Amino acid sequence: MTERVLLVGGGGREHAIADALASDCTLYACASNRNPGIDRLADDFRALDPTDTGAVVEYAENVGATLAVVGPEGPLAAGLVDELEKAGVYAFGPKQAEARIETDKTFQRTFMADHGIPGQADFETFANTDAAADYVESVDGDVAVKPAGLTGGKGVRVTGDQVTKLEAADYVRSAGHDEWVIEERLVGEEVTVQAFVANGDVRVTPAAHDHGRAFEGDEGPNTGGMGSYSVPDRTLPFMTDADYEACVETLEAIVDALPDYRGVLYGQFMLTADGPKVVEFNARFGDPEAMNTLPAMETPLLDVLVAARDGDPLPDLEFADVATVCKYAVPEGYPTDPEGGTRVRVDGDSVGDADLFYASVDARNDGLYTTTSRSFAVVGTGETLADAQTQAGAALDDVGEGLRVRHDVGTDALLQRRIEHVRSLRDE
Ligand code: AMP
Ligand code: GLY
């Protein structure tokens, strides 16, 4: 039987999911933006709000979906997986209750504490803005200040790094959120480890490294992610095998404590002097990290989804021995004052030798235009990180006016800095 798979979401991550699935199934897709890459790969594409669970369920029923896969967190938070299941469609993604591991940071840290999950950071939770702000002003040491709910990766402020404590307290008072989590500031280098999870099985994927800050040299505000890389090994050059194993243990401990969890479980970790500490969990693939993981995965993604649905053991995963470098082109001013509306020159499914994944672009009669979110990504692949970086870099050398790129993602200079940083922390 040919599976009829409904893909929910229209970003670069979902384009990579579509690319991994399209040749093995009949693909349907829905998202609020008509992603031209997904549109080309899918048999049908419906523009709708993916957090409107009723609209997605109706579309799934209309196309006779035998499976669904949910990319972004918004629909997970809205309970889309629960509603699809009630309509008889198995969706690969956590139900609303399990998705709280991402969607509610108060739950995330409290759950870790209640279940003794390794990699915990010191934290306090607040249901009141003034109490949270007063705490930030008076606490010893630097902290990370986080609204408890979803903020698209842009809600966190770290003292001693981006802001002073007074600025962080002012931010808490003025940001318009009631619930806050205030954590110790973790010092080190960040890594992502993602796993496919279903029926208690956990299948981990190679580590990737995202660049959350807007500007080169890790400066500027946090973004949804400017680019990421992976190497032909499950670790990264500044990550030991023991670090990787510790990250996997943390993900497995979460699944032991949340046995109904299904979908992708994403762990972001800080490699500190004392080993990996949890920065956050996501209930889905990372964006951009999905664009490192899926193109290198040799096991068909469809096999994982079908095994999850049918209650079979998840397949062991095979990955090509390649390095990947993903770089996003974003509108000028992103993320604080993005200026959309410029014409995008890329077309088709590659730029030079790099693969092209579309994110938020607006298709008009005369071509594609930027919106106020990330526009498109290129992924270079090679035997070494240098090869992959050269390929991705060349694709974006002349990205055009109105767009910005972090050219330093995947470069040797930045990598050496991270290696030195972790070494210096651990030699002390
Ligand atoms: P999050 O939305 O929780 O991933 O946070 C966004 C970014 O803020 C992370 O990628 C880190 O760079 C930073 N961050 C979050 N929590 C901490 C922490 N406890 N210590 C240091 N940096 C953090
Ligand atoms: N790369 C960060 C995220 O997907 O949230």
User: What is the pLDDT, as a whole number, of residue 152?
Assistant: 79
Same domain as 315, residue 403: yes
* CB 9 within 8 Å of CB 285: no
Task: Determine the pLDDT at residue 151.
Answer: 87
> For residue 15, what is the domain's CATH number?
3.40.50.20
Rounded CA separation 209/233 (Å): 13
> Same domain, yes or no, for 338 and 357?
yes
pTM as predicted: 0.97
Residue 402 lies in a domain: yes
Atom of ligand 1 nearest to the CA of 183: 19
| 146 & 216 share domain | no
Residue 280 CA: nearest ligand 2 atom is 5
Q: Whose CA is nearest to atom 4 of ligand 2?
A: 286
* Residue 169 sits in the same domain as residue 136: yes
For a mutational test of ligand 1's pocket, the pick from 125, 139, 211, 280, i.e. the residue with the most ligand atoms closer than 8 A to its C-beta, is 280
Please check whether residue 179 is in contact with residue 291, taking contact to mean a CB–CB distance below 8 angstroms: no
Instruction: Report the number of distinct structural domains present in the chain.
Output: 3
Quote the domain boundaries for residue 252: 189-414
- Domain co-membership, 215 together with 168: no
In percent, how much of the chain has pLDDT > 90? 95
* Ranges of the chain whose pLDDT falls below 70: 428
CA distance 331 to 318: 36
pLDDT at position 382? 98
For CA atoms 299, 300, 301, 307, give the dihedral sign.
Answer: negative
pLDDT of residue 362: 85
Residue of minimum CA distance from atom 2 in ligand 1: 153
Contact predicate 402/316, CB 8 Å: no
On whether both 165 and 217 belong to a single domain, the answer is no
